[in-house]
Structure 1
Amino acid sequence: MPNALHLDPDRLFPADPRTRDIARMLYAQVQGLPIISPHGHTDPSWFAGNAPFGNAAELLLQPDHYLLRMLYSQGVALEDLGLGGSGADPRPDPRPDPRPDPRPDPREAWRIFARHYYLFRGTPSRIWLDWVFAEVFAQDVRLEAATADLYFDTITAALATEAFRPRALFERFNIEVIATTENPLDSLDHHRAIRDSGWGGRVITAYRPDPVVDPEFEGFARNLVLLSDLTGQDCLSWTGYLTAHRQRRAFFAQMGATSTDHGHPTARTADLPQSEAQALFDRVKGGASSPADAELFRAQMLTEMARMSMEDGLVMQLHPGSFRNHNAQLFAQFGRDVGADIPMPTDYVHALKPLLDRFGNEADFTLILFTLDETAYARELAPLAGHYPCLRLGPAWWFHDSPEGMRRFRRMTTETAGFYNTVGFNDDTRAFLSIPARHDLARRVDCGFLAELVAEHRLEEDEAAQLAQDLACNLARQAYRL
């Protein structure tokens, strides 16, 4: 007999009975609140075309780098999971080919995943996926080798129905707004199609300029030419380059953007004199700059982006501290986002000072800071956000988007920064079906933390109830100007 799949109603709540009762009470008041998803990586084409998702492996396994990295660490070949690398068949000939399809059968990829599902015991991926399996697809047995085909057939059949199309799921999940992330070279045609369709779902974009502000981004020099073609500006001149950014930011704002996002290796900022900034741009624009020049240019561009946010009101997000594509072999074979990014120590106190010297005291400017370096929570981030009017702390992110990661974040930042210098929760994911699972997990953990404060008489129940709602929805609405 397959093992039962059961979601305990008290999961993630404190074990102490009195504190657990308080957490239950708080959670009951926020469980049904709408989802505010102000930063993520879902594909806007899903909502523009509203086409059915393909199958279980295509939707739940292959895009999820949390799953891929764990499976790869245990010796599972990514090709066997359905990922196509640079060695995939490039044949352009449209005529039928007698050779077998080199791509693995998605059912077989799913079977491999099911056989290895035990690897995710104790991880947030297991919590999210079990929620999706139980709440979205009504499964009542666990995923394992014996139930692999049952899961694949049930999920794939459901995805072919109207109730499981992207817009229907958006509405079922009670999503109030979701932000996707596009770069300045994106035409935003999918966002235009969503806007023109008459559908009531709110899907907005966010401005992610990494491909045209990071000299070490693959194709940087070519991207500047594309940016010139797109904007009609000379993006090989410093003035034209900055004007192009302002133009694209204005276009993104017209298409709903309220924020920018910056995924730099470090949090370093710079505030160079105009002549030095122009000379630096001249050195990097050819795409063959030194690592030192590339880092200084990224630093200068963070300050330039802050200056533009002062002009246009877009909220700025900084996601530093990841050594991207650490596994050079995987990067060469599969490209970005296959789970080979590794957290690094990150300095904020010295790194942000040039930007903060210029804009730190501006109450109309908002810079939301994220980190993969938990050692910076109490030492640097909470004291900075607890002082500078422009700063807010993003939630525990990526590797720390987990029950223990969220608890550590609250314990290490609240006493110095409080709750109201944070921005609640955002899910930051490509995995669309896991969004409600992630928000549910965050609400349960926050209610548990607040319940502890009430039980210790550090917070009144009515204050905790208000905070639970603020953390679930209100802080994100306010911080992201939604």
Structure 2
Amino acid sequence: MKLQLDPDRLFPADPATRDVASGLYSRVADLPILSPHGHVDPALLLDNTPFGDPSELFIRYDHYVTRLMHAAGVQLSDLGIPDRTTGAAVATPREVWRTFCAHWYLYAGTASGYWLQHAFVEQFGIDLHPSIDNADALFDRIDAALATDAFRPRALFSQFGIEVLATTDDPMDDLATHRALAEDPSFAGRVLPTFRPDAYLNPAAAGWADNVHRLAEWNGSAASSYSGYIDALAGRRRHFVEHGAVSADHGVFQPLAVDLDPSAAAALFDRALAGTLSDDEQRAFAGHMLLEMARMSVDDGLVMTVHPGVLRNHHTDTFTRFGPDTGHDIPATTTYVDSIRPLLQKYGTIPDFHLVLFAVDESVYSREVAPLAGFYPSVYVGAPWWFLDAPDAVLRFRSAVTETAGFYRSSGFIDDTRAFLSIPARHDMARRLDSAFLARLVREGRIDTPTAERIIVDLVDAMPRKVFKL
């Protein structure tokens, strides 16, 4: 069987609607990629060193890929992930690749399968479905391509048409890599840092007290001072703004905002450093700091993005043995209306404050996020994220939010990926799906063709530029 990409993939089956979708897609197919939220290591582009072997590139670090094989009974050590408790040998890259090819059938109908197929065909010219019989030949073919200059990260950055790529960075990062890229005359792209302070805001986070001390040392302030802690966070945000950052990202379990007066917050801070906070008090302090981050975004202009609703490291034994990001992060129910209301009461109508709300709980988009974005000038609907960045889920998302918030209260697509080679596949998927959705509205007489033509371009270009202040 041939592995191929249907030119009309993801378009409606009805021929007339498919033709409309195809025409809309043609207007955006070649537009530059704007990626304002992702997890690619900026050193990849600064150093421009060749990628590793095919297993490292497509399997080892992609929990979308490893989790399905693990569910089918494959051990993570057989996928090249070391067991931290035993130090036992892991499978070789070629063995990992053989295991993956033997389980290729698992990815039929999944977003991962769609992205992998796109990369195999478009980037490597592979026209065979992976199998145990051709695994070694495919490994050698990809490995040989990765050794060429055409597959160096900078060459692919240009080939993919990436204009802006945002990374996700620790608040204490010196951002030297970003500075070097910005000053390199041989590199024309924009690689922007993103302020990600979760481990500095939540007293329940591992290493929180140590992070507070790091802030204090940098700021020259007393570690035990709440005011010094706030000043240091603001200072680190300024450092990011000076290095081109446009947003601050918050990965919380629930988007809880708590409005405490400074004396109450200082008292909780002192007790947090002493390790005497109850669970409820930890949540209250973290919620207060989420509101403080909104205040700082009003002051410094950083777009505030909130990514809630994932119970990370669901399986304790797997986390102990193999660490985080190994496939067992699970979506949870998310609520916004009550929990984030204190933040919106203060800042929801302030001009130039941008708050982008994401979810992996599908029901919250129509029930809460779209209505909030349909009233508060600050609120934008974040694109389908993580478990929802898949074809059918993206179409359900558009149906869920558009009737309430329209198209122009949404963020534009977010690829949210560490897998550099999947970026063009993900953005192309989003462009096709938005074209398909708009085509249906045209065919149903709900919007006219010129309106759809304007919207499809704005979803790809104007909206991410506006929402993320690009």
TM range (shorter): over 0.9
Farther off after superposition, 70-79 or 80-89: 80-89
Aligned counterpart in structure 2 of residue 55 of structure 1, from 53, 56, 76: 53
Residue 113 (1) aligns with residue 100 (2): yes
Partner of 2:159: 172
Residue 81 (structure 1) aligned to one of 79, 82, 86: 79
What code does the residue aligned with 1:59 have?
L
2 CA distance for matches of 1:140 and 1:45? 32
1:104 deviation in Å? 2.2
Letter in 2 for 1:230: W
- Post-superposition Cα deviations, 1:68-120, rounded to whole Å, max 9, x if no partner, equal 1111111111111111232364xxxxxxxxxxx93421010111011011111
Q: CA deviation at 1:290?
A: 2.3
Aligned to 1:221: 209
Deviation of the 1:437 alpha carbon:
0.1
Kindly provide the amino acid, as one letter, of the partner of residue 118 in structure 1: Y
Is 2:365 the partner of 1:401?
Answer: no
Aligned pairs for 1:258-407 within 5 A: 258-287=246-275, 289-407=277-395
Distance 2:407 2:191 in 1: 27
Unaligned runs of 5+ in 2: none
Give the drift of 1:477.
Answer: 0.9
- Residue 25 of structure 1: aligned partner: 23
Structure 2 equivalent of residue 5 of structure 1: 3
The Cα offsets for residues 294-352 of structure 1, whole Å up to 9 and x where unpaired, read as 21112111110010011100000000111111111111112211111111111111001
Number of the residue aligned with 1:138: 125
Give the equivalent residue in structure 2 for 1:206: 194
Q: Can you list the C-alpha shifts for 1:38-76, whole angstroms capped at 9, x where unaligned?
A: 000011110111111111011111110101111111111
| Aligned equivalents of 2:458, 2:43: Cα separation in 1 | 31
- In structure 1, give the amino acid aligned to 2:313: N
Q: d(CA) in 1 for partners of 2:349 and 2:123? A: 46
Is 1:124 the equivalent of 2:122? no
Relative to structure 1, the CA distance from residue 88 to residue 43 in structure 2 (aligned partners, 3 Å threshold; closer, same or farther) is farther
Q: Is the 8 A contact 2:256 2:340 kept in 1?
A: yes
Q: 2:406 aligns with which of 396, 412, 418?
A: 418
Give the conservation status (yes or no) of the 8 Å contact 2:37–2:167: yes
- Structure 1: distance between partners of 2:134 and 2:69: 19
CA distance in 1, matches of 2:118, 2:350: 42
Distance of 1:445 and 1:287 partners within structure 2: 49
For the Cα contact (< 8 Å) 2:219–2:228, is it kept in 1?
Answer: no
TM normalised by structure 2 equals 0.98
Measured in 1, the distance between the counterparts of 2:457 and 2:274 equals 50
- Structure 1 position 236, deviation (Å): 2.8
In structure 2, distance between residues paired with 1:173 and 1:86: 36
Percent identity between matched residues is 49
**What SS does the corresponding residue of 2:134 show, helix, strand or coil?**
helix
Cα distance in 1 between the residues matched to 2:274 and 2:70: 36
Contact 1:231 1:248 (8 Å CA) reproduced: no
Paired residues in the alignment total 469
CA distance in 2, matches of 1:260, 1:178: 15
Q: Is the 8 A contact 1:209 1:261 kept in 2?
A: yes
| Residue identity in the other structure for 1:257 | A
- What per-residue deviation string (whole Å, max 9, x for no partner) do you get for residues 189-237 of structure 1? 2212212322212111100001111212211111211222233233431
Counterpart amino acid of residue 294 in structure 1 = Q
Q: Give the residue type in structure 2 aligned to 1:232.
A: G
1:460 aligns with 2:469: no
Shift of the 238–108 alpha-carbon distance from structure 1 to 2, 3 Å rule, reads same
Q: What do the CA deviations read for 1:211-265 (whole angstroms, capped 9, x no partner)? A: 1112122111112112222332334311000111111101111111000000000
- The residue type paired with residue 43 of structure 1 is D
- Residue 104 of structure 1 corresponds to 91
Instruction: Determine the structure 1 residue equivalent to 2:171.
Output: 184
The range that moved more, 213-222 or 200-209, is 213-222
Q: Which moved more, 1:193-202 or 1:240-249?
A: 193-202
Label 1:74 to 1:464 Cα distance change in 2 as closer, same or farther (>3 A).
same
Deviation at 1:140, TM superposition (A): 1.2
On the 8 A contact 1:246/1:308 being kept in 2, the answer is yes
Q: Secondary structure at the match of 1:176?
A: strand
Whether the aligned pair in 2 keeps the contact of 1:36 and 1:476 (CA below 8 Å) is yes
Distance 1:47 1:88 in 2: 34
- Does structure 2 retain, via aligned residues, the 8 Å contact 1:235–1:244? no
C-alpha separation in 2, matches of 1:288 and 1:168: 52
Assess if the C-alpha contact under 8 Å between 1:385 and 1:417 holds in 2: yes
Determine the C-alpha separation between the residues in 2 that align with 1:258 and 1:287.
34
CA distance in 2, matches of 1:88, 1:53: 28
CA-atom RMSD, angstroms? 1.2
Deviation at 1:288, TM superposition (A): 5.3
Aligned partners of 1:215 and 1:107: how far apart in 2? 43
**Larger mean Cα displacement after TM superposition, 306-315 or 325-334:** 325-334
Q: Which amino acid aligns with 1:130?
A: Q
Q: AA paired with 2:437?
A: F
**Whole-angstrom CA distance in 2 between matches of 1:452 and 1:17:** 12
Q: Distance in 2 between matches of 1:234 and 1:40?
A: 34
Hey, what's the Cα distance between the residues in 1 that align with 2:228 and 2:323? 31
Partners of 2:461 and 2:275 lie apart in 1 by 42
Please say if residues 34 and 176 of structure 1, whose CA atoms lie closer than 8 Å, have aligned partners that are also in contact: yes
